[in-house]
Amino acid sequence: MAKSISQLIKDEAKRQQNTLSLIASENIAPKEIRETTGSVLMNKYSEGYPGKRYYGGNEIIDQIEVMAQAAAKKLFGAEHANVQPYSGSPANIAVYTALLQFGDTVMGMSLPHGGHLTHGHKVNFSGKAYKFIQYGVDPETGLLNYDEIETQAKIFKPKLIVCGATAYPREIDFGRFGKIAKKVGAYLLADISHIAGLVAGGVHPQPFPHADVVTTTTHKTLRGPRGAVILCKNSLAEAIDKAVFPGLQGGPHDNITAAKAICLQIAAKPEFKRYAAQVVANAKALATSLQKLGFTLVTGGTDNHMLLVDLTSKNITGMKAERALEKVGIITNKNMIPGDLRSPFDPSGMRLGTSILTSRGMGEREMQEVAMMIAKVVDKPTSSAVLSAVKKEVAVLTKKFPIK
């Protein structure tokens, strides 16, 4: 007999509690945010914007959306905020819709080098609708080569430059990107979806005033609901708002808007700044520990919440490592590394993130323990004795740091 959805949700809660998740794009949303997403707000329809709705009965929804807008602007130093985008990809598409015509030239970071699908990959809408020029990282250092990016920009003269990444473990120089964009007369879009919580927490520089537009998801390092926000200069506000609605979306998800407001308000508090700092401290500790255990890290370390591990020297692929680690309760994701010759389905690396373990209260000492567990499994992925022993270690650590 098939399980009910209710039971499957309980099973998933148990799975999350009993595993160590190192997925860089995931986090644990506080109970208040989870409850808000399941509130009566999901019953309402509110096409339009505060004060200009196409449905009645939105006096309370208007207040919620205005609060979310204000919190977003204050947190990131933005002139305007649109809090309606359903997720990160639609947010990026809305920016393209607002500022570009189909066929316009755009620059974005290559997916195999750490960019996102919506930064111009050929299989994505972005890569089909616009002429994307892809930039990458230096093959030797794994770092962004800003001089090379500037050279490309001068040659191709894009209308928009996209900066930001999903698998780049170093600080992004928004100031340098801003200067490059200004030199070639391009708009600058900073997609900070992965690092937004670190920006809010003061451990990564703000993209404004260098960027014209900023997009971010509200989960990941922000610890909020699955959703997105677009921030921009006042001069682009009307175009951005029209692109979101009625250009691409109908009614916003009001329950998610409220959860975004709570998330953004929490991120402005001192305790969140301490959390963000600990995320980075944990990532650095995990990086150092893994290096001592013989692992090779792309760029040689990290400045943010994530690590990109090159498994080539360990004679194991990303897929095999991911599967072996999952057997003991350590959840990671296989990931391509710059210059990878393997398939995205079985690449040469894996991406690790410390947001969830930090949310559970773990610190640098626990990162050393986790590194040891990872090393044991990756070095002997087929040893039943090793897998059994590490699985017990995971059980002890997860019980010590319960999800609240």
45 as an active site residue: the answer is yes
Using alpha carbons, list the distances in angstroms from residue 318 to 109, 170, 389: 22, 21, 22
Nearest of 370, 248, 250, 358 to residue 309 by alpha carbon? 370
Residue 46 labelled as part of a binding site: no
Dihedral angle computed from the Cα positions of residues 202, 355, 121 and 103, in that order, rounded to the nearest 10 degrees: -40
Residue 21 labelled as part of a binding site: no
The amino acid sitting at 23 is I
- Which parts of 81-224 fold into alpha helices (H)? 88-99, 125-129, 146-156, 174-184, 196-200
Residue 343 labelled as part of a binding site: yes
The residue with tokens 């985008």 is 85
Q: Read off the tokens for 231.
A: 């921030």
- Cα–Cα distance measured from residue 166 to residue 319, given in angstroms and rounded to the nearest whole number: 18
323 as an active site residue: the answer is no
220 as an active site residue: the answer is yes
The dihedrals phi and psi of 271, each to the nearest 5 degrees, come to -65, -30
Which residue is catalytic, options 26, 44, 45, 62? Answer: 45
Which residue is catalytic, options 65, 150, 191, 241? Answer: 191
Residue 115 labelled as part of a binding site: yes
349 close to 334: Cβ distance less than 8 angstroms: yes
For 110, the 3-state DSSP assignment is coil
Residue 352 labelled as part of a binding site: no
Can you state the angle between helices 384-400 and 364-379, rounded to 10 degrees?
A: 160
Which residue is catalytic, options 19, 166, 217, 218? Answer: 217
Which residue is catalytic, options 53, 159, 170, 220? Answer: 220
End-to-end CA distance of the chain: 31
- Cα–Cα distance measured from residue 232 to residue 163, given in angstroms and rounded to the nearest whole number: 15
For 119, the 3-state DSSP assignment is helix
- Cα–Cα distance measured from residue 287 to residue 362, given in angstroms and rounded to the nearest whole number: 15
Which residue is catalytic, options 176, 179, 226, 242? Answer: 226
217 as an active site residue: the answer is yes
Angle at 115 between CA 310 and CA 174, to 5 degrees: 110
- Cα–Cα distance measured from residue 86 to residue 312, given in angstroms and rounded to the nearest whole number: 38
With a CB cutoff of 8 Å and minimum separation 6, the contacts of 301 are 169, 284, 287, 288, 291, 307
Q: Which residues are catalytic?
A: 45, 47, 191, 217, 220, 226
Feature table: binding site: 111, 115-117, 343-345
Feature table: binding site for (6S)-5,6,7,8-tetrahydrofolate: 111, 115-117, 343-345
